[in-house]
Each structure stands twice: as C-alpha cells, then as structure tokens.
C-alpha cells in the first residue's frame, strides 16, 4: 500500500535565488500538507550519508559539494500516494526532460542544480524523514 508521506529538499540553488516561496506555493496548490520543515546547511558528512546510494557515481563529488554549498529547506509532506504524486509534481531529474508545469521544469538550472529532491520509495521517504527529523518535530 502506498504511504501517505514523502520527504523533500528545496536545494541550495533554489533557496539562494529566492525560489523557496514559489516552490512552496506549487507544493501547496498540489494539495501536499507540511508535516515538518526546517532550514539547515548540511555538513559534508551528512550529505555523503544522505546520498550514500550514489557513492560510486561520477557525479557524487559534485553533488556533495553542491548540496553543502548553502542552506536548504528539508520537509516531510503529507498527501495520499505521496511518493509517486510528488515525483510527478517535481518532474524528471534532468530539467530538459521534465514535463511542462513541473517544479524542476520551472526552477531547475541543470541536472545537478535541479531545485528539489523527492523520495523515490516509501522506504526511502521514511529513512530520509528520520534522517532529519525527530518524532517531536513531525506533526499531522
Ligand atoms: N545528479 C547529478 N548528475 C546526474 C544525476 C544526478 O548531479 O547525472 C544529482 C541531481 O541533483 C539529482 C541527485 O543527484 O537530483 C540524485 O540523483 P537521482 O538519480 O537519485 O535523481 P532524483 O531521484 O533526484 O530525480
Ligand atoms: Mg533519487
């Protein structure tokens, strides 16, 4: 059964260029409710652990450098069928391949600086939410 929450990050490029508000508005309009949210600047160790699955990829080092380059907003979002519906809302990893009207189509500047993260499975949504939030920081 599909879970009812996903985990998201508004990435450093989007925060830096003032896109946090517009991105949150799109998330809100799509019917997602914020269960948890905070602004953090990831340490290198945190980013390496968060993206552990990509450790052997050629883009790993650049990704870690980018994700630690400034503050991000991390959040837990509630919605029916949250993981799948949120991936649809954000669009493809590569903004050139993202559908019109998706968050990445509108706000990504490259494959790397693609504005937002969205969990790819219920298991990873749970892992990623627990990575950043304690139980008392989560609501709804
Ligand atoms: N990424 C990158 N170069 C690539 C592929 C991915 O820099 O060729 C970055 C990008 O920021 C992406 C993240 O690594 O969002 C994680 O990659 P993944 O394949 O999991 O894409 P996502 O699940 O975020 O769509
Ligand atoms: Mg992924």
Per-residue pLDDT of the chain (140 residues; tens, 9 = 90+): 578 999 999 999 999 999 999 999 999 999 999 999 999 999 999 999 999 999 999 999 999 999 999 999 999 999 999 999 999 999 999 999 999 999 999 999 999 999 999 999 999 999 999 999 999 999 98
Number of domains in the chain: 1
Q: Whose CA is nearest to atom 19 of ligand 1?
A: 93
Q: Which residues are tagged catalytic?
A: 117
CATH number assigned to the domain comprising residue 36:
3.30.70.141
Radius of gyration of the chain (CA): 14
Distance CA 140, CA 138 (A): 7
- Ion ligand 2: protein residues whose beta carbon lies under 5 Å: 120
Nearest ligand to the CA of 90 is 1
- DSSP string spanning the chain? ---SEEEEEE-HHHHHTT-HHHHHHHHHHTT-EEEEEEEE---HHHHHHHTGGGTTSTTHHHHHHHHTSS-EEEEEEE-TTHHHHHHHHH--SSGGGSPTTSHHHHH--SSSS-SEEE-SSHHHHHHHHHHH--GGG---
pTM listed for this prediction: 0.98
Q: Which domain holds residue 66?
A: 5-137
Ligand 1 centroid – CA 52 distance (Å): 12
> Residue 98 — left, alpha, or beta (φ > 0 → left; ψ -120 to 50 → alpha)?
beta
Of all ligands present, the nearest one to the C-alpha of 51 is 1
């Amino acid at each position: 059964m599909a879970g009812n929450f996903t985990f998201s990050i508004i990435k450093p490029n989007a925060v830096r260029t003032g896109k946090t508000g517009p991105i949150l508005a799109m998330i809100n309009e799509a019917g997602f409710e914020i269960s948890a949210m905070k602004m953090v600047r990831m340490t290198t160790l945190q980013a390496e652990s968060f993206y552990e699955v990509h450790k052997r990829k050629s883009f790993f080092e650049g990704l870690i450098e980018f994700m630690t380059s400034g503050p991000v907003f991390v959040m837990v979002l509630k919605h029916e069928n949250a993981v799948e519906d949120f991936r649809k809302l954000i669009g493809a990893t590569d903004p050139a391949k993202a559908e019109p009207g998706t968050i990445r189509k509108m706000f990504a500047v490259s494959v790397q600086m693609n504005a937002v993260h969205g969990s790819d499975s219920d298991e990873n949504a749970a892992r990623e939410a627990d990575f950043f939030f304690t139980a008392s920081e989560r609501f709804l």
